[in-house]
Chain A
Amino acid sequence: MLELLRFSFFQNALIGSVLAGMGLGIIGVWVVLLGIPFVGVAISHAAFAGAVVGLLTGLNPILMAIVFSLVASVSIGPVAEKSGLDPNISIGIIFSLVLGIAFLGLGMIKGPKTEAFNLIWGSILTLSRRDILTTSIVTFIILLFLALFGKEIKAIFYNRKVARASGIPERFIFFSLLFLSGFVISLNLNTIGGLLIFSLVINPPSAARLLTHKLWAMYLLSMLFGIISCMFGLILSYFFRVPSGAVIIIVSSFIFIIAMAFRGRNGRKFF
């Protein structure tokens, strides 16, 4: 197995796993603690719609995917504020809109649609150096954001209204978290794929939350579970020639089940 490490595609896949696990692990903690986990579904399908539109118009599908998912992620906050409804409602509305655009576009594409579908399935074994570079940059950005605004992020996890009344720039932080989540999700679509990425946003932080009362530990465990899921997905998909995204999701779900079993009675946690 060690000789595999000499292949550049395998090196890329390995680095891609770590980056995807870390990035999605962090934004997973954000969206789970903010109570908006479905943001992952909406953003990944916006990316799919973008790719379809890109194929139809002859523009770069990956670039369009990123543009669409960023537009979707920055719209969630204002739509929720303007309508006065729960952010989850605006996520649902944006989700249905982008799905509509995606299906409309799919119906209009003549010829093979593999490029669009690749974003839906994703494949960790076909990552390029460029993919790795862009995902490293975005992972670095979210780590930096976490380091700079960790205190403010903590405050809005507690209570957004209280944070605002205490003088914390709550809207700036909340909107930035949404935007960065969109960024991370759209750039990891190659690795995991739009249909399944949602599970990697929600499973690792949820498993981590069952095991700890401490925020820093939740971040670390969530990243660790994300990385383990991706590594397993990579190795199993290579040796058994099965789709990597599917394996990643199944492994991450198993981690959640194990965490649930390990959790003590009466909600007692490890630390």
Chain B
Amino acid sequence: MTPDSGDLRVFGKNPAMSGMLHQKRIGYIFQDEHIEKEIPLSVMDVISVGRMGMRGIFKRLNKIDKYAIETAMKEVGIYTLKDRPAGFLSGGEQRKVSIAREISREVEIVLLDEILMNLDPVSQMEINNLISKIYRKYELTIIFVTHLLHYLPDGINRIIALKDGKVFWEGKPHELNIAILTELYGCPKEALKRYVGTFKI
């Protein structure tokens, strides 16, 4: 990863220099991790991918890996699905698969890129609760990228609003108000109020 300008530091070091060492400490869930319906892989198979990179080439996954994968599945509540074909999972279950994969890797930072997209409201809440639970239990640093301001997980420490590639606003959740959002999105206050509705500000 090379920045367009400036200096990039992860864990106090330039990631371009330390490469793989950092990769093992950082988890990533992509915006679109849709699993193709006909894929001949089980839920267990796709979650194992996280540990595969950790184990390295020429090595099989061992008992420790299996234990980590099964624990992660139980943690997100999909252990009973472990032998199911991965392509038949619902959107919410697919998200849980991705979360289990990153937990099993025992990472320190997880980047979640708009993971609530394309989910129904119940699943969105469920995933949010799961993220809060994992955050409290594992004490990970979670970076949660979202546009859904009315669905934020509990326990957020800091909000950073980006506009045109720059930090526009930064603060605690209770400091965020409709005036800041109006300026951030450049749209009328009324429309925003209707959108965020239940959002306590």
Contacts and interface: CB of A to CB of B under 8 A. Distances in A.
A89 B40 CA distance: 25
Given A166-B54, A166-B105, A158 B39 contact: yes
B19 to A, nearest CB: 10
Given A213-B40, A213-B42, A161 B30 contact: yes
B201 to A, nearest CB: 34
B81 to A, nearest CB: 13
Contacts of A163: 49, 52-53
Contacts of A149: 57
A2 interface: no
Given A166-B105, A167-B24, A157 B53 contact: no
Contacts, number: 78
Interface of B: 20, 23-24, 27-28, 30, 33, 35, 37-42, 45-46, 49-50, 52-55, 57-58, 60-61, 85-86, 88, 98, 101, 105
A33 B53 contact: no
Contact of A155 (B39, B42, B49): B49
Interface in A206-247: 209, 212-215, 217-218
Given A148-B58, A151-B60, A158-B46, A167 B53 contact: yes
Interface string A149-192: 10110110111011101111100000000000000000000000
Contact of A166 (B37, B40, B41, B53): B53
A214 B53 contact: no
Given A166-B52, A168-B53, A169-B57, A209 B38 contact: yes
10 contacts: A151-B60, A155-B52, A158-B41, A158-B45, A159-B30, A165-B28, A167-B24, A209-B38, A213-B85, A214-B42
Given A159-B35, A163-B52, 6 more contacts: A157-B41, A159-B30, A161-B30, A162-B98, A169-B57, A218-B40
B35 to A, nearest CB: 7
Count chain A CB atoms within 10 A of each CB in B30, B35, B40 and give the residue with the most: B40
B20 to A, nearest CB: 6
Given A161-B30, A167-B24, A168-B52, A152 B57 contact: yes
Interface core residue of B23, B35, B41, B88 (most chain A CB under 10 Å): B41
A162 B57 contact: no
Interface of A: 33, 148-149, 151-152, 154-155, 157-159, 161-163, 165-169, 209, 212-215, 217-218, 267, 269
B132 to A, nearest CB: 23
Contact of B37 (A148, A154, A212, A267): A267
Given A151-B61, A155-B49, A165-B28, A215 B54 contact: no
